[in-house]
Structure 1
Amino acid sequence: MIVHWHRRDLRPGDNRGLARAASTDEPVVPLFVLDPSVLEHASPIRVACLLEALESLRSWYRAHGSDLLVVRGEASTAVPRVATAHDAATVVWNEDYSGLARKRDQAVRTALTDEGIAAESVHDAIHHEPGSITPNQGDHYSVFSYFWKKWRDRDKRPPADEPEASDLAAVSGDPIPSLDEVGFDDPEATPPTVTTAAARERVADFCSGPIYEYAALRDYPAESGTSRLSPHLKWGTIGPRELYAATERAAERAASDGDRESVREFQRQLAWREFYAHVLAFNPNTVTEDFSGYDNEIDWHDDPDALEAWKAGTTGYPIVDAGMRQLRADGWMHNRVRMLVASFLTKDLLTDWRAGYAWFREKLADHDTANDVGGWQWAGSTGTDAQPYFRVFNPMKQGREYDPDAEYIREYVPELADATAEEIHGWHDLEPPERERIAPDYPGPIVDHAERRDRAIALFERARGEASE
Structure 2
Amino acid sequence: MDLYWHRRDLRGTDNRGLARAASLSTEPIVPVFVFDPTILEHASPIRVACLLEALEGLRAWYRERGSDLLVVRGEASDVIPQLAAEYDAETVVWATDYSGLAHERDRAVTAALEDDGVTCESVHDSIHHEPGSITPNEGEHYSVFSYFWKKWRDREKREPVDAPASEALAAISGEPLPSLSALGFEEPSSTPPSVTQAAARERVTEFCSGPIYRYADDRDKPAVDGTSQLSVHLKWGTIGIREVYEATVRAATRAATDDDRESVSAFQRQLAWREFYAHVLEFNPETVTENFSGYEHDIPWRQDPDELEAWKAGETGYPIVDAGMRQLQAEGWMHNRVRMLVASFLTKDLLIDWREGYDWFRAKLADHETANDVGGWQWAGSTGTDAQPYFRVFNPMKQGREYDPDADYIREYIPELEGVPADAIHDWHELESARRTSLAPSYPEPIVDHGERRERAIAAFEQARGE
TM-score (norm 1): 0.99
Cross-structure match for 1:56:
57
In the alignment, is residue 276 of structure 1 matched against residue 282 of structure 2?
no
Residues 277-303 of structure 1: per-residue CA shift (max 9 Å, x gap): 000000000000000024970010000
Cross-structure match for 2:267:
266
Cross-structure match for 1:153:
154
Cross-structure match for 1:360:
361
Residues 85-106 of structure 1: per-residue CA shift (max 9 Å, x gap): 1010000000011111101000
What 5-or-longer segments of structure 2 have no aligned partner?
none
Q: What does 1:61-210 correspond to in 2, within 5 Å?
A: 61-210=62-211
Cross-structure match for 1:297:
298
Cross-structure match for 2:15:
15
**What's the CA shift for 1:170?**
1.2
**What's the CA shift for 1:2?**
1.3
Q: Distance in 1 between matches of 2:437 and 2:381?
A: 33
2:340 alignment partner, SS class: helix
Contact 1:316–1:443, Cα closer than 8 Å, also in 2: yes
Q: Distance in 2 between matches of 1:373 and 1:296?
A: 21
Q: Distance in 2 between matches of 1:465 and 1:404?
A: 39
Cross-structure match for 1:286:
287
1:263 alignment partner, SS class: helix
Q: Distance in 1 between matches of 2:410 and 2:312?
A: 16
**What's the CA shift for 1:447?**
0.4
Residues 236-278 of structure 1: per-residue CA shift (max 9 Å, x gap): 0000000000000000000011101100000000000000000
Contact 2:429–2:445, Cα closer than 8 Å, also in 1: yes
Q: What does 1:368-447 correspond to in 2, within 5 Å?
A: 368-447=369-448
2:71 alignment partner, SS class: strand
Q: Distance in 2 between matches of 1:449 and 1:258?
A: 37
**What's the CA shift for 1:15?**
0.5
Cross-structure match for 2:318:
317
**What's the CA shift for 1:26?**
2.4
**What's the CA shift for 1:388?**
0.4
Q: What does 1:330-345 correspond to in 2, within 5 Å?
A: 330-345=331-346
2:466 alignment partner, SS class: helix
Q: Distance in 1 between matches of 2:295 and 2:55?
A: 41
Residues 398-442 of structure 1: per-residue CA shift (max 9 Å, x gap): 000000000000000010001100000000000110001000000
Contact 2:296–2:464, Cα closer than 8 Å, also in 1: no
Residue type matched to 1:207 in 2?
C
| Change in 2 beyond 3 A, CA 1:164/1:296 | farther
Q: Distance in 2 between matches of 1:28 and 1:157?
A: 24
Q: Distance in 1 between matches of 2:28 and 2:107?
A: 25
Contact 1:35–1:73, Cα closer than 8 Å, also in 2: yes
Contact 2:17–2:93, Cα closer than 8 Å, also in 1: yes
1:83 alignment partner, SS class: helix
Contact 1:405–1:421, Cα closer than 8 Å, also in 2: yes
Q: Distance in 1 between matches of 2:161 and 2:89?
A: 23
Q: Distance in 1 between matches of 2:339 and 2:210?
A: 25
Q: Distance in 2 between matches of 1:181 and 1:421?
A: 47
1:23 alignment partner, SS class: helix
Cross-structure match for 1:251:
252
| Change in 2 beyond 3 A, CA 1:188/1:272 | same
In the alignment, is residue 6 of structure 1 matched against residue 9 of structure 2?
no
Q: Distance in 1 between matches of 2:121 and 2:284?
A: 23
Residue type matched to 2:7 in 1?
R
1:203 alignment partner, SS class: helix
Query: How big is the alpha-carbon RMSD for the aligned residues of Structure 1 and Structure 2?
Result: 0.8
Contact 1:289–1:295, Cα closer than 8 Å, also in 2: no
2:4 alignment partner, SS class: strand
Paired-residue identity, %:
74
Contact 2:296–2:465, Cα closer than 8 Å, also in 1: no
Residue type matched to 2:9 in 1?
D
In the alignment, is residue 229 of structure 1 matched against residue 237 of structure 2?
no
Q: Distance in 2 between matches of 1:196 and 1:294?
A: 44
Q: Distance in 2 between matches of 1:6 and 1:301?
A: 42
